[in-house]
Structure 1
Amino acid sequence: MAVLSKIRKLPPIILIIVIGVALLTFIVSPSALKNFFNADKFSSVAEVSGEKISRNEFVTALDNYKKQTGGRVSDIQASKIVFNNLMRNKVYNNQLEQAGITIGEADILNQIYDTEFVKKDPRFQTAGVFDKNKLKQYLADVKQNKPQVWAGWQNYMSNVKNSLQKSTYNNLVSVGLNASLKEGEMKYVTENTKINSNFVFVPFSSVKDDEVTIKTGEVKDYIESHKSEFQVDASRDVKYVRFDVKPTQTDENNLKAKMVTLLNDREEYSNTAKKNVTVKGLKSTNDYNAFFIDNKSDLPYDASYQFKSSISTNVSDKLFAGAKGDVFGPYKDKGYLKLSKIVDIATMPDSVKARHILIPFVGSRASNKDTKKTEEQAKKQADSLLAVVKKSPKNFEKLAKDFSKGPSASKGGDLGWFTYSTMVPEFRDYCFSNKKGDVGVVKTIFGFHIVKIDDQKNQQKVLKLATFGQKIEASEETENNVFENASIFEQELSSGKTFDEVAKEKGLKVMSSVGLKPLSENVSGLGNQRSIISWSFGKDTKVGDYKRFDIEKGYVIATVIGETHKGLIPVKKAVAKVRPILVNQKKAKLIEDKMKGATLEEMANATKTTVRKVSGVTLKTPTISGVGYEPNIVGAMLYAKANEVYKNIVGDRGVFAIKVINREAPVSLPNYL
Structure 2
Amino acid sequence: MGLMTFMRTKMGYFLVGGIAVVLALFVLEPLLQQGSAIFGSSRNEVGSIDGEKISYEAFNTKVDQTTAQFKQQYGAMNPQMQAMAVEQAWQYEVANVLLNKEYGRVGLSVSGDELFDLIQGKKPSPLIMQYFGNPQTGQIDHAAIINSLKAQSKDPNLKMQWDLLQNEIEKQALQQKYNNLVSNSVYVTSLEANDEYVNRNKLASLKYVNLDYSSVLDKDAKLTDADYQAYFDANKKRFFNPTETRSLEYVSFSIKPTATDSALIKTQIEKLAADFQTTPNDSLFAANNSDVKVPYTYITKGKLDPAVDSVIFNYQAGSFYGPKFSGNSYKLIKVIGNRVSPDSVKASHILIDPSKVGGEEKAMKLADSLKNLALKGSSFAELAKTYSVDGSKEHGGELGTFARGAMVPAFENAAFDGKTGDIKVVRSQFGVHVIKIEKQIGASKVVKLAYIEKALAPSQKTRDAAYKKALAFLNEVKSDNFNALAQKNGYTVGVADRITPTQGYAPGLDNPRQVIRDAYDAKKGTVLPQVYTMDNDYVVVKLTAIQPKGQLALEDVKKQIEPMVLNAKKAQILTEKMNAALSGASNIDGVAQKLGKSAVDVENLVFANPVIPGLAQENKFTGAVFGSQAGKLSKAIDGEKGVYAFIVTGFTNPAPLDNTYKQKQTMLSSIAQRAFGNAFQVLQDKADIKDNRVKFY
TM over 0.5: yes
Q: Which moved more, 1:609-618 or 1:215-224?
A: 609-618
2:110–2:170: 8 Å Cα contact kept in structure 1? yes
- 1 or 2, which has the higher strand percentage? 1
1:118 counterpart = 2:107: no
CA distance in 1, matches of 2:460, 2:615: 65
CA distance in 2, matches of 1:633, 1:477: 61
Q: TM-score, normalised by structure 1?
A: 0.63
Give how far 1:662 is off. Answer: 5.3
1:53 counterpart = 2:52: yes
CA distance in 2, matches of 1:609, 1:254: 63
Give how far 1:645 is off. Answer: 4.7
For residues 257-272 of structure 1, the aligned pairs below 5 Å read none
1:214 counterpart = 2:216: no
For residues 246-645 of structure 1, the aligned pairs below 5 Å read 249=260, 350-351=339-340, 360-363=349-352, 374-380=366-372, 424-425=412-413, 444=426, 447=434, 483-493=467-477, 501=485, 505=489, 511-540=494-523, 542-544=525-527, 547-551=530-534, 555-566=538-549, 567-568=552-553, 569-597=556-584, 599-600=586-587, 603=591, 606-607=594-595, 616-623=604-611, 629-641=617-629, 644-645=632-633
Q: Encode CA deviations 1:310-359: one digit per residue, 9 max, x unaligned.
A: 9998xx99xx99999xx999x686788999999x9xxx765357999967
- The 1:176/1:444 distance shift into structure 2, 3 A limit, reads same
2:345–2:415: 8 Å Cα contact kept in structure 1? no
1:67 counterpart = 2:78: no
Q: Encode CA deviations 1:430-477: one digit per residue, 9 max, x unaligned.
A: 79xxxxxx9987655664568999999999xx9x99888988877766
Give how far 1:27 is off. Answer: 3.8
Q: Encode CA deviations 1:134-161: one digit per residue, 9 max, x unaligned.
A: 968965874x765543443344344334
2:528–2:540: 8 Å Cα contact kept in structure 1? no
Give how far 1:548 is off. Answer: 1.3
Tell me the residue number matched to 1:655. 644
- 1 or 2, which has the higher helix percentage? 2
- The 1:214/1:158 distance shift into structure 2, 3 A limit, reads farther
Give how far 1:36 is off. Answer: 1.1
CA distance in 1, matches of 2:317, 2:401: 41
Q: Encode CA deviations 1:37-62: one digit per residue, 9 max, x unaligned.
A: 38xxx7x93354xxx22235x85365
Q: Encode CA deviations 1:153-201: one digit per residue, 9 max, x unaligned.
A: 34434433443343333333333321123431243234423445x5453
Tell me the residue number matched to 1:274. none
Give how far 1:596 is off. Answer: 1.2
Opposite residue 574 of structure 2, the aligned amino acid is K
Tell me the residue number matched to 2:42. 36
CA distance in 1, matches of 2:273, 2:202: 85
Tell me the residue number matched to 2:684. none
Opposite residue 524 of structure 1, the aligned amino acid is P
- The 1:538/1:424 distance shift into structure 2, 3 A limit, reads same
Give how far 1:376 is off. Answer: 1.1
RMSD: 6.0
- The 1:336/1:176 distance shift into structure 2, 3 A limit, reads closer
Opposite residue 577 of structure 1, the aligned amino acid is M
Tell me the residue number matched to 1:240. 251
1:53–1:86: 8 Å Cα contact kept in structure 2? no
Give how far 1:575 is off. Answer: 0.3
Q: Which moved more, 1:176-185 or 1:618-627?
A: 618-627
Q: Secondary structure at the match of 2:169?
A: helix
1:241–1:557: 8 Å Cα contact kept in structure 2? yes
Unaligned runs of 5+ in 2: 1-30, 71-76, 354-363, 378-395, 428-432, 665-697
Q: Encode CA deviations 1:194-234: one digit per residue, 9 max, x unaligned.
A: 445x5453333595446952314112331134211223443
Q: Secondary structure at the match of 2:52?
A: strand
Q: Secondary structure at the match of 2:541?
A: strand
Q: Which moved more, 1:332-341 or 1:570-579?
A: 332-341
Tell me the residue number matched to 1:367. none
CA distance in 1, matches of 2:171, 2:299: 54
CA distance in 1, matches of 2:223, 2:516: 34
Tell me the residue number matched to 1:82. 89
CA distance in 2, matches of 1:585, 1:245: 49
Opposite residue 68 of structure 2, the aligned amino acid is G
CA distance in 2, matches of 1:304, 1:350: 12
Opposite residue 175 of structure 2, the aligned amino acid is K
Q: Encode CA deviations 1:593-619: one digit per residue, 9 max, x unaligned.
A: 321126326545554556666555432
CA distance in 2, matches of 1:472, 1:641: 68
CA distance in 1, matches of 2:487, 2:634: 59
Give how far 1:67 is off. Answer: 2.0
Give how far 1:235 is off. Answer: 1.8
- The 1:633/1:149 distance shift into structure 2, 3 A limit, reads same
1:27–1:534: 8 Å Cα contact kept in structure 2? no
2:525–2:543: 8 Å Cα contact kept in structure 1? yes
Unaligned runs of 5+ in 1: 1-19, 264-280, 365-371, 386-402, 410-414, 432-437
Alignment counterpart, residue 168 of structure 2, candidates 156, 159, 168 = 159
Q: Secondary structure at the match of 2:655?
A: coil
Count of residue pairs brought into register by the alignment:
563
For residues 660-671 of structure 1, the aligned pairs below 5 Å read 661=650, 663-671=652-660
Q: Encode CA deviations 1:491-549: one digit per residue, 9 max, x unaligned.
A: 444799856646874x7665443332222232333323211112223234634555312
CA distance in 2, matches of 1:321, 1:362: 37
Q: Secondary structure at the match of 1:222?
A: helix
Opposite residue 37 of structure 1, the aligned amino acid is R
- The 1:141/1:62 distance shift into structure 2, 3 A limit, reads farther
Opposite residue 521 of structure 1, the aligned amino acid is G
Q: TM-score, normalised by structure 2?
A: 0.61
1:360–1:378: 8 Å Cα contact kept in structure 2? no
- The 1:210/1:423 distance shift into structure 2, 3 A limit, reads same
Larger radius of gyration: 1
1:62–1:78: 8 Å Cα contact kept in structure 2? no
CA distance in 1, matches of 2:285, 2:614: 76
Opposite residue 376 of structure 1, the aligned amino acid is D
Identity among equivalent pairs (%): 15
Q: Which has the higher contact order (CA 8 A, sep 6+)?
A: 2
- The 1:494/1:137 distance shift into structure 2, 3 A limit, reads same
Give how far 1:236 is off. Answer: 1.5
Tell me the residue number matched to 2:385. none
CA distance in 2, matches of 1:625, 1:262: 60
Tell me the residue number matched to 1:203. 211
CA distance in 2, matches of 1:626, 1:468: 53
Q: Secondary structure at the match of 1:532?
A: helix
Q: Encode CA deviations 1:628-666: one digit per residue, 9 max, x unaligned.
A: 654444444444345555433445543224356555342
CA distance in 1, matches of 2:495, 2:599: 50
CA distance in 1, matches of 2:255, 2:567: 41
